[in-house]
Structure 1
Amino acid sequence: MTDLRPLDGGDIWDITVVSEPFTTGSEEVEAAVNRLQDRAHEQHWDLVIGLTELPLHDHEGRHLLVETDPDQRTAVLSLPALGGLRMHSRARRAVRSLVSGMADPATDGERHVALPRLRGRWRLLLGMVLANRPWLLVPGLKSALVAALATGAVATVNSTVWLLAGSMSWWRLVVATIASISLVVGWLVIDGELWDRPDDDSPQAKQRSRLYNASTLLTLTVGVLICYAALYVVNLAWAYFVLDPSVMGGYVDVPIGHGDLFVLAWFVASAATVGGGLGSGLESDEAIRAAAYSKREQDRRERLAGDD
């Protein structure tokens, strides 16, 4: 609990910060608001604002940024709906505005703020992906990275790989990159059972599952891309360290320059990504589970069951 005195010299505010899991049912905004109101009555709070990483929607299926109940002085704010960029500053401004609006009885604020139909969905999806923090997937893929680095180190000094890399056009290398990343992402989804299925046949449940699955796929893709880029840099440095283009060209009877090492490292990165990712027996890691809202939802339910 923190004491806060307003700049205008008014009453001192006692601010209490509580962290607890919200379940899937709280994505229905009325359920979230009702839960906050019950909590406020239990604790005798004058005003309560809930911040959630869950996407909120109303009974019409529209995604919401915020829902307020001025009469009960209750509001719930969806953090992913802020878009993910400059999250802390945007959240502070939003909370400050909500507190000011609900603390002043004369203020007639909006009861809820809905996101635009199309642009709002992309904004919400971006916020969900950034909330998943895809860069934290790299430690979760450590076994795949180790296997891929070992595969790449061996492939770099293989003359057959040199010939294959030199014979491939740029568009085939691009296809190989896309295919290798897609295979690893698909394997992560299957191995980690990260694909979310609707709880029922309602349009809201199906929409939520589509949103969850899209955020999971994008999060995993960004994480694997980071690993791919790191693998490429390491392979390129290794190739420059151990290979002499003139010696290599004489061995395969093909003129090779230093620029060809970039193509070699590109081809090896794609091959090593597939070999390392699919052949390493990816362990179940908390960072990988955190990439999926559905898995975090299971963790919330288990935490709630433990508290009960």
Structure 2
Amino acid sequence: MTGTAGSSRSILEGRGERSGRRSGGTRTLLIGLVADPGFATEIAHRLAEELPGALAERSGYRLHCRVTVVSETLSRGEGERIIDLAAQRRAREGWDFVVCLTDLPLSANQGYLVGDLSRRANAAVVSVPALDMLRPAEQARDIVVRLILEWAGELPADSGDQEIEGGGVGVRSGVQPVAPTDEDIDVEYAAPAGRLRLLVGMVRVNRPWRLVWGLRNAVAAGLASAAFGLVSSVVWQLSGAMSALRLGIATVASLAMIVLWLILNHNLWQHADRRDRVEYRQVRLYNAATMLTLVIGCGVAYVVLLAGSLATGWFVVVPQVLSAVIGHPAHVSDYLRLAWLVSSIGTIGGALGSGLESEDSVRTATYGSRERHRPPREPQHT
């Protein structure tokens, strides 16, 4: 550890005035944060606010930093690693160190990668889906601070497996140092091989609740279908006669229809060669995240449709007229059942409207499609 730390220091001190600005034994570093658009960029902006103070405190105020955030999707060629692309961006920008926050799940020696460091490249990578489910930004800050300290040779020699303030690394956080499988990687942290944790992280990165805006054409078609149902006396009679079980089945069937239509219409389902176990496992994870994202997103859209149908029905459908059709005085429960049924009808109509959505509006919420459409890296000619 001591030899490695000394090597890191010599790298820092050899950069001249730019990275070696000293005052009373302190150094000021230029740190770049390159993050995928979306949730990863949100974490990067929060890191930019908290990293200078956290790094100064953890280094005993020997290290200070200025942070730059870049939000972009790194273009990868076949076989290229994210950490190498981040290092190339660091060299172009003139940063001392770069951290790439990617929204892709990455495999590690034991479990799934949370963060790794290459001293040769002066770069680190943090996989956002593998971060803590409840406090991803806090854990990202703690891990990034630790990686920078490792790189700069400022990490105390006896702090190997100790818990970082805030629970970034250690037994309680579930994140542990592992032996890197790549010879260019010096430090690697991984989370246990729990697919549920990683799947939840991937869905969180997708932010399925924002899918409602991406499906605005489907929601508009659903509202039009629901409006037709609200003024149909046949629908009134059906809502009064159907049991809660039947209404629930109608809800599940309508949601399944729109999810299936989105997958088929936008080619969101990935296929992999079963003989390639690594690729097959990754594709299964992508498909599961896509499916869960769509189910949650369409579920949120259904709730929006239900609330709109209930409010509209309460205003448009006169109680006396509804009572005459259903054969008993209309109560709040009758309006709820009516809104429930027309929401399911509207969701089926929304499935047809979802065919009008642009590829981009759906692609941003699905892992497999987003990865397939990452901008290709043009070949470099020397």
Pair in the same fold by TM > 0.5: yes
**Alignment partner of 1:56: what SS?**
coil
Corresponding residue for residue 256 of structure 1: 330
Distance in 2 separating the partners of 1:6 and 1:203: 51
Cα distance in structure 2, aligned partners of 1:155 and 1:214: 34
Report how far residue 83 of structure 1 moved: 3.8
Check conservation: 1:6, 1:12, Cα contact below 8 A.
Answer: yes
Q: What is the distance in 2 between the residues matched to 1:307 and 1:262?
A: 62
Corresponding residue of 1:215 = 289
User: Which range is displaced more, 13-22 or 262-271?
Assistant: 13-22
Aligned pairs for 1:186-225 within 5 A: 186-198=260-272, 201-225=275-299
CA contact (8 A) 2:227 2:309 kept: yes
- Counterpart of 2:127 (choices 74, 78, 87) is 78
Distance 1:24 1:245, change over 3 A: farther
The answer to whether the Cα contact below 8 Å between 2:32 and 2:90 also exists between their aligned partners in 1 is: no
Larger relative contact order (CA 8 Å, sep ≥ 6): 1
Quickly say closer, same or farther: Cα 1:53–1:246, change in 2 above 3 A.
same
How far apart, in 1, do the equivalents of 2:198 and 2:78 lie?
19
| 1:252 shift after superposition | 4.2
Instruction: Please report the TM-score for the alignment, with normalisation by the length of structure 2.
Output: 0.69
**Counterpart check, 1:21 vs 2:70:** no
Deviation at 1:256, TM superposition (A): 3.1
**Stretch moving more, 201-210 or 12-21:** 12-21
Deviates more, 1:228-237 or 1:250-259: 250-259
How far apart are 1:156 and its partner, in Å? Answer: 1.0
Please list every run of 5 or more consecutive structure 2 residues that lacks an aligned counterpart in the other structure: 1-17, 35-71, 161-176, 178-186
1:1-308 alignment, distance < 5 Å: 10-18=26-34, 19-21=72-74, 23=76, 31-36=81-86, 46-58=96-108, 62-70=111-119, 73-104=122-153, 107=156, 109=160, 110=177, 111-118=187-194, 121-198=195-272, 201-278=275-352, 281-302=355-376, 304-305=377-378
- Rounded to whole Å, the distance in 1 between the matches of 2:356 and 2:22 is 53
Give secondary structure in 2 for the equivalent of 1:301: coil
Higher helix share: 1
Cα deviation 1:133-159 (Å, max 9, x = unaligned): 212211221111111111111111211
The 1:13/1:46 distance shift into structure 2, 3 A limit, reads: closer
Bigger shift: residues 122-131 or 46-55? 46-55
Question: C-alpha separation between the residues in 1 aligned to 2:91 and 2:316?
Answer: 70
Alpha-carbon separation, structure 2, partners of 1:258 and 1:227: 23
Number of residues paired by the alignment?
300
Distance of aligned partners of 1:285 and 1:3 in 2 relative to their CA distance in 1, 3 Å threshold: farther
CA displacement 1:245-295 (0-9 Å, x = unmatched): 333222343443232110110111011101222256332242211111222
TM-score w.r.t. length of structure 1: 0.84
* 1:49, distance to aligned residue in structure 2 (A): 2.8
Q: 1:91 to 1:22 in 2, by over 3 A?
A: farther
SS of 1:57 mapped into structure 2? coil
1-side partners of 2:347 and 2:227: how far apart? 12
Question: Is the contact between residue 302 and residue 343 of structure 2 (CA under 8 Å) also seen in structure 1?
Answer: yes
